[in-house]
């Protein structure tokens, strides 16, 4: 007797693995488009350098850039 000896008449390909692979593929595509949308929104946030420059501009009395 060999391990996993199975008669060919008992084993046949089913549709469930194919459906599961397609379902996982669709979920991955949905996640990709969702993350792409959120990354584009996050890229519009001001950077730390922008925030510091804005604070420096507000801190000076005449609104000009201070000389360093």
Q: What is the arithmetic mean of pLDDT over 10-38?
A: 91
Distance, CA of 15 to chain centre: 30
In a domain, 9, yes or no: no
Token pair in block for residue 18: 């194919």
In a domain, 23, yes or no: no
In a domain, 16, yes or no: no
Phi-psi region of 7 (alpha: psi -120 to 50; beta: other; left: phi over 0): beta
pLDDT per position as a tens digit, 38-63: 999 888 888 899 889 888 888 876 65
Residue 5, helix vs strand vs coil: coil
Question: pTM, whole model, 2 decimals?
Answer: 0.54
> Three-state SS string across 10-67, please?
CCCCCCHHHHHHHHHHHHHHHHHHHHHHHHHHHCCCCCHHHHHHHHHHHHCCCCCCCC
In a domain, 5, yes or no: no
């Amino acid at each position: 007797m060999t391990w996993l000896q199975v008669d060919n008449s008992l084993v046949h390909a089913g549709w469930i693995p194919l459906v599961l692979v397609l379902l996982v593929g669709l979920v991955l595509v949905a996640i990709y488009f969702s993350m792409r949308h959120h990354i584009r929104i996050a890229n519009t946030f001001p950077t730390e350098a922008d925030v510091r420059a804005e604070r420096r501009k507000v801190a000076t009395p005449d609104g000009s850039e201070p000389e360093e």
